[in-house]
Amino acid sequence: MITHSINYLCVLAVAIFITPSLMAKPSETLIRKQNDSWVLIHNNQPYRINGAGGYQYLDKLKQAGGNSIRTWGISDKTQAILDDALANNITVTLGLWLGHERHGFNYSDPSQIKKQLDEVRQAVQQFKDHPALLMWGVGNEMEGDGSNPIVFKAVNDVAKLVKQLDPNHPTMTVIAELGSEASKVKSLNKFCPDIDIIGINTYGGVYNALDRYKQAGGARPVVVTEHGPLGHWESPKTKWGAPLEPTSTEKTKFYREGYTNAVLNHPETTLGSYAFLWGQKQETTATWYGMFLPDGTRLAAVDTMTKLWTGKPPTNACPEIIELKITSDHIVEPNDYISAELNAIDPDNDPLDIQWILRAADGKTGWGGDAEERNTAFNDVIETSTDKSVRIKMPEKQGPYRLFAYVRDNKGNGAVGNIPIFVRVQQAMNETQPAPIPFRIYTDTQPDMPYQPSGYMGNHSQVQMNEASNQNQNSGATCIEIKYNDPGQWAGVVWQHPYNDWGDKPGGYSLTGAKKLTWYARGAKGGEKIKFGFGLLGMDKTYHDTASFESEYTLTDQWMQYSTDLTGKDLSRIKTGFYWVLAGQGAPITFYLDDIKYE
């Protein structure tokens, strides 16, 4: 009797520790074409993806009518994410992270390719039989601008391996938009036959992304893998270059119209979508992309997706921000007092709690969703506040700030908006030297150049710049040869006046009267991508540039003249007369400059 009891207890103990994923059978997902429409078949049933990117609050996703999540890579949380999804009857597009050239990954390095394939092999073997698995996400935006065919070939090699190891789940790769003239779609068609589904991350372009995809010859099924508000790079800017973030109420328009245009209007091509982001992250601001606040408060984007997924609004709606504004100018002096006004309502007449927070906005904005530090909050600047207004004493330090208004009801719902503000120390305009036009930045016929290439940026230890190169110069006896030896990271050089000044000293030149900036450039091989510009010093600097320009160019192996129109620009103080910046492109880069001048 005692023996039987012990055996029973042992069996019970083992059963308790068996995860649901071990008790359920592996899933199977297929793609079929029915009546000229692509259909996803999951566990023998037609399956439409009502998804969101992220892995938090899965119980709330289920309540909202969602049925799938998307991840970006494998981590020590992956097993728990899959198990949590299974417990909520939610599927997972499991991301397999592939290296980015801008992070230093070299797709021409066999050792890096082998290591990446080994990591993919291990992940697929470990998770291919999990019952929550819907499909594999082979990379995310690893293609960059889409110009390197070696990347697409490597993506296909990964997809081929995945299909060999797991024939029961399709492969999807995810690209950032479609590329110039939909070049990424054309490269996928040419180099990636083992990719089953095309995932597209698109924000402002979501309205016509599927039309452009089809026009470019896209014939495979599509999942809209990220969509939401306008991207920060697509939004209007303040005078000092800060993007204007819509309120959480205003963002619902982009979720609704984007989903309608890309998914509902193209049922024959799209298998569904993943709204971004089911959670919260710091990207440009603390609130730009999150569908929740850090404490789990739902925002109106959740309400919008609930209605799109279920056809019904939530039982209790999020508060709405009707208007948020400041009553003074957005550019103020140190220690100035400003007042802001808020008009917020609750559709269900729930009581509202208002929280005002001033944050610094001087953190570096990441690239492509890279991690960012959260901006500093100032807790001692609020003089008075109510549910409708606030009076704040601005900090003494010059720079950009954002005033946030957080609105919460007592049902777990909220709204948020912010106002960009700039604190500027008033400085008398220094007497700049008037420049004769044309004004030369570099030519070998003028020994004393007005601006000096003294401002080294980024991984500058890998920059070699020879200002007296005789390597096939454009004119005269010499040109500038620039070598960047790091396949990853970024670097740049700025021509400055005064020497090595970053906006702390008087100086610069008045280029008033110049109509254009021109320069010649070529690459050693062709295909090198370089950003050129002037006016790097923003309004956060005491002595800043009064105008600016920046654009990226793809060089050829022949000398080409480039130019930018200066009409309408305030050229009264230009302290950084020229600069170049590049990101690592998977291999060392050499390029050349000559004959840089204002005309």
Domain that holds residue 347: 320-423
> Is 13 within the bounds of a domain?
no
- In this predicted structure, the answer to whether residue 17 has a pLDDT above a threshold of 60 is no
Helix ranges (H only) for 167-232 are: 183-191, 209-215
In our burial notation (b when 16+ CB lie closer than 10 A, e otherwise), range 156-175 reads bbbbebbbeebeebbbbbbb
pLDDT at residue 8, as a whole number:
38
- Distance of alpha carbon 509 from alpha carbon 93, whole angstroms: 55
CB of 518 within 8 A of CB of 474? no
- In this predicted structure, the answer to whether residue 14 has a pLDDT above a threshold of 70 is no
CB of 335 within 8 A of CB of 425? no
Residue 409's CATH number: 2.60.40.1930
- Distance of alpha carbon 179 from alpha carbon 519, whole angstroms: 26
Which residue did the predictor score with more confidence, 463 or 443?
463
pLDDT in tens, 260-301: 999 999 999 999 999 999 999 988 899 999 999 999 999 999
Residue 222's CATH number: 3.20.20.80
**433 CB-contact burial (10 Å; exposed 0-12 / middle 13-18 / buried 19+):** exposed
C-alpha neighbours within 13 Å on the C-beta side of residue 284: 22
Question: Which of these three, 391, 423, 455, is where a domain ends?
Answer: 423
Residue with tokens 């710091």: 282
The pair phi, psi for residue 194, each rounded to 5°, is -90, 5
- Distance of alpha carbon 100 from alpha carbon 230, whole angstroms: 24
pLDDT at residue 194, as a whole number:
98
Q: What percent of the chain has pLDDT over 70?
A: 93
* Beta carbons within 8 Å of 377's beta carbon, 6+ residues apart: 357, 358, 359
Same domain, 351 and 304: no
CB of 255 within 8 A of CB of 29? no
Question: Which of these three, 372, 389, 423, is where a domain ends?
Answer: 423
Same domain, 146 and 295: yes
Q: Which two tokens stand for residue 253?
A: 């328009």
> Is 18 within the bounds of a domain?
no
Same domain, 566 and 442: yes
Which is nearest to 158 in space by CA: 145, 147, 146, 174? 174
> Is 126 within the bounds of a domain?
yes
Same domain, 371 and 303: no
Q: Work out the angle at residue 218's Cα, subtended by the Cα atoms of residues 206 and 140, and round it to the nearest 5 degrees.
A: 60
pLDDT at residue 155, as a whole number:
98
Which residue did the predictor score with more confidence, 5 or 532?
532
Calculate the alpha carbon distances from 549 to 59, 316, 364, 442, 580 in Å. 48, 48, 19, 18, 11
**Average pLDDT across the chain, whole number:** 91
Instruction: Indicate the helix (H) or strand (E) that contains 296.
Output: none
Same domain, 478 and 513: yes
Domain count, the chain: 3
pLDDT in tens, 347-399: 999 999 999 999 998 655 555 566 567 778 998 999 999 999 999 999 998 88
- In this predicted structure, the answer to whether residue 21 has a pLDDT above a threshold of 70 is no
pLDDT at residue 490, as a whole number:
86
Same domain, 409 and 459: no
> Is 1 within the bounds of a domain?
no
Residue 539's CATH number: 2.60.120.260
pLDDT in tens, 467-495: 999 888 899 899 999 999 887 778 999 99
Calculate the alpha carbon distances from 23 to 15, 84, 446 in Å. 10, 14, 79
pLDDT at residue 583, as a whole number:
84
- Distance of alpha carbon 529 from alpha carbon 379, whole angstroms: 44
Which residue did the predictor score with more confidence, 569 or 379?
569
Question: Which of these three, 310, 343, 370, is where a domain ends?
Answer: 310
Residue 581: count of CB within 10 angstroms of its CB: 18
* 3-state SS string for 159-183: HHHHHHHCCCCCEEEEEECCCHHHH
Same domain, 367 and 439: no
Both ends of the chain: CA-CA distance in Å?
101
- Distance of alpha carbon 91 from alpha carbon 131, whole angstroms: 8
Q: Which two tokens stand for residue 200?
A: 């597209």
The pair phi, psi for residue 449, each rounded to 5°, is -85, 140
CB of 291 within 8 A of CB of 279? yes
> Is 428 within the bounds of a domain?
no
> Is 6 within the bounds of a domain?
no
CB of 40 within 8 A of CB of 31? yes
Same domain, 193 and 56: yes
> Is 275 within the bounds of a domain?
yes
Residue 363: count of CB within 10 angstroms of its CB: 16
Same domain, 242 and 104: yes
Same domain, 301 and 330: no
Same domain, 46 and 147: yes
pLDDT in tens, 292-305: 999 999 999 999 99
- In this predicted structure, the answer to whether residue 172 has a pLDDT above a threshold of 80 is yes
Same domain, 104 and 195: yes
> Is 163 within the bounds of a domain?
yes
The residues that bridge with 564 in the sheet, in sequence order, are 517
- Distance of alpha carbon 424 from alpha carbon 334, whole angstroms: 7
Q: Which two tokens stand for residue 49?
A: 């993806």
- Distance of alpha carbon 289 from alpha carbon 366, whole angstroms: 14
